């Protein structure tokens, strides 16, 4: 075990479990779309980068890539329910079939806003693929079309998820030791 893996309390989801689940989701998505669709896979950076890279390779239909960086104002009273777009899309999603690819849904505020933004721009369809879901923390209604795993309310790192920008490169999902963030 190297130094930074010592910060992980325990492994919640192994590399093997992730690989199998991502393939399953890719198969389902591949069946949900056909040649009439004009699919754009939108990765929400940076957290979704690893999931995005694995998932798009498991999807057996033509698609294009785009990326966004968004940050939610969370539940702050000033602008609850709004997101700040830090990096805008390259392409116009009007008429496109959008698949939003996100690392984890917590309060749901970020992706509920992004979904509305895509619909507002005239996307033909908008679906959400989320690697992880922490349903106990939800503050807004949000439908997840394609989900990897439901997780307990713990602070998770690895497979793209960070704490203070670290741990994204762990190949599994781990529970971060409380002493690291408390
Ligand atoms: P929300 O659903 O708007 O609350 O925001 C979800 C975002 O919070 C994700 O994209 C992550 O960036 C971050 N997040 C939530 N829970 C965790 C966690 O356990 N580990 C790392 N990042 C998390
Ligand atoms: Mg994120």
Mean pLDDT for 37-43 is 98
Whether residue 160 is predicted with pLDDT greater than 70 in this model: the reply is yes
Task: Please report which ligand is nearest the Cα atom of 151.
Answer: 1
Q: Do residues 134 and 147 touch, judged by C-beta distance below 8 A?
A: no
Distance 41 CA to ligand 2 centre (A): 16
Determine the pLDDT at residue 151. 98
Determine the pLDDT at residue 81. 56
Q: Annotated catalytic, 106?
A: yes
The sign one gets for the Cα dihedral 102, 106, 108, 110 is: negative
Distance 102 CA to ligand 2 centre (A): 7
Q: Do residues 2 and 61 touch, judged by C-beta distance below 8 A?
A: no
Determine the pLDDT at residue 139. 93
Q: Which of 75, 106, 145, 162 is catalytic?
A: 106
Mean pLDDT for 74-103 is 83
Mean pLDDT for 28-53 is 97
User: Token match 């990897």: residue?
Assistant: 148
Determine the pLDDT at residue 82. 78
Ligand 1 atom nearest to 162, measured from its CA: 21
| Residue 106 beta carbon below 6 angstroms from any ligand 1 atom | yes
Whether residue 15 is predicted with pLDDT greater than 60 in this model: the reply is yes
Task: Please tell me the pTM assigned to this model.
Answer: 0.95
pLDDT in tens, 103-159: 999 999 999 999 999 999 999 999 999 999 999 999 999 999 999 999 999 999 999
For residue 15, the Cα-to-chain-centroid distance in whole angstroms is 17
Distance 31 CA to ligand 2 centre (A): 27
């Amino acid at each position: 075990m190297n130094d930074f893996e010592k910060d992980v309390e325990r492994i919640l989801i192994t590399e093997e479990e992730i690989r199998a689940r991502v393939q399953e989701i890719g198969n389902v998505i591949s069946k949900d779309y056909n040649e009439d669709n004009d699919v754009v896979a939108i990765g929400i950076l940076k957290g979704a980068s690893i999931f995005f890279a694995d998932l798009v390779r498991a999807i057996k239909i033509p698609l294009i890539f785009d990326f966004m960086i968004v940050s939610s104002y969370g539940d702050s009273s000033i602008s609850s329910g709004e997101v700040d777009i830090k990096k805008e899309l390259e392409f116009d999603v009007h008429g496109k079939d959008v698949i939003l690819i996100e690392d984890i849904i917590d309060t749901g505020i970020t992706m509920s806003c992004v979904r509305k933004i895509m619909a507002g721009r005239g996307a033909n369809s908008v679906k959400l693929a989320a690697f992880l879901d922490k349903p106990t923390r939800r503050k807004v209604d949000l439908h997840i079309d394609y989900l990897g795993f439901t997780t307990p309310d713990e602070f998770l790192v690895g497979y793209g998820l960070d704490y203070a920008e670290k741990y994204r490169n762990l190949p599994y999902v781990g529970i971060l030791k409380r002493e690291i963030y408390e």
